[in-house]
Structure 1
């Protein structure tokens, strides 16, 4: 730990460790507010803007088409562009189920934009978290304060694994309800009931709860990438991006060319999936979903979209060896980053 100040003003007690850590988290937030907060919000706004443009184009094309006759359950219905009120009267149980799944899928797609941006933000945040402070020599100032290297590095880990995903989830929820309002306005414009056609069949509150519940699983899953990027950030004297990318890739090529995994009765693809991909892409959203489990699910059953993110599916990931092996590897690399920050020279 860095040396504490030898004297304190009269009546002043040293700051508690939790108070110092909270201040470090605030520092990370304010220094990276653009990536943590505004980037997901802007991505969500772009998603809503594109949705609005698509609705306007659909409205213009529908009005140009004029009145049309369609066949619903053997009955001919005359509609002027689109009359959702009349269509609603002929929706059966099967159509209602497909409508519910379609709305849930649309909500997830609309809310995915902040998470996609989050993956890029976290990758470059972790990559520069310890390198940039050595490059601009601000590390000398921070080391002069009564802050340990462990506290500093862990504040960056918590910011990447919990703070940034929580803010992105909030942006995704705002985007989701903004999408619902746009669709509701479109339904009202065409004589439909938004409660019956949008809010009722859809499950926005359930999806919100599932997104929030997934944050701890996402935090644990991304630890290998966070640890590896922080390790590169604390070790590299220049070009940390190249080191972070090339070392896993060259390791994968070496393993593949010489078929090293055959000695363990495994294919080379196992190394690419469980080592290279986990080191580089675990910060990407939804990579913690078990593909084998998804393929085994009944995607044609009722509520298929919601079942992908229900609590049982989300937290069953905590029972996998892939997650906990990654947690151990990530913790080891974070420990290495703490050690290197204590002794590493300034970056070039």
Structure 2
């Protein structure tokens, strides 16, 4: 069992690293004094043993995720990460364990494909398929190599892609399993539904293979990074906010809305949830949906040089 630490220079207006990775699920128990403090600092959530992390994957409970103003909202992505019980996490996993996990994934995804057609690619197969389009899967950055995450690259890494292109499932990358639904519109409702529906199916298939995902009642879904603990979910919407991005009150506004903003192109920004624990999957995604809608309203006010004080949410 190992804990890997690294420096964090991020801000709410840019990428933020949690500062450490766990070597396995047991690390969160053995080193709870350390990890509980990290979780509290990063998520503003105090870990209490008798408080159970709640889950809600009923996508019908998400409201207003399909009616963004397309002039401002450009695209969206919803992802969720899971790790498998009794296996080390990528920072500390052996080559043999990683290959076992790929074997399990092949069996589970083969069964998933019977109902939801898709294809599993190794990294070499993926590069061969994509090279005519000028797309090559590069090796991970040196930072991941340093922490052991990309050790033995590209051995036992794979990507499953649904036939309709609505879902991708990464195997043995920064965690054991990551489901991602990306869209070229901002219909978060559809992206969220694609992830939720197939996550439930995949979880059942892994259980059937006696390889359940790691769950701890007080922590939720346990993965290598404390930044993704709890739900393992991240929802992001890319929007055009040229006026608001330069406004002096932006930082305080993002803090109130519990959103993180990253620049992608000039005047275009990706907004996503800060926390992943303490709220359900629906609540976290709803937070992003409501927050982005408010930011778009404020952007429209700024275009007219109007005050937006009446739109500001109460300070939490």
Structure 1 length as normaliser, TM-score?
Answer: 0.27
Greater strand proportion: 2
Rg larger in 1 or in 2? 1
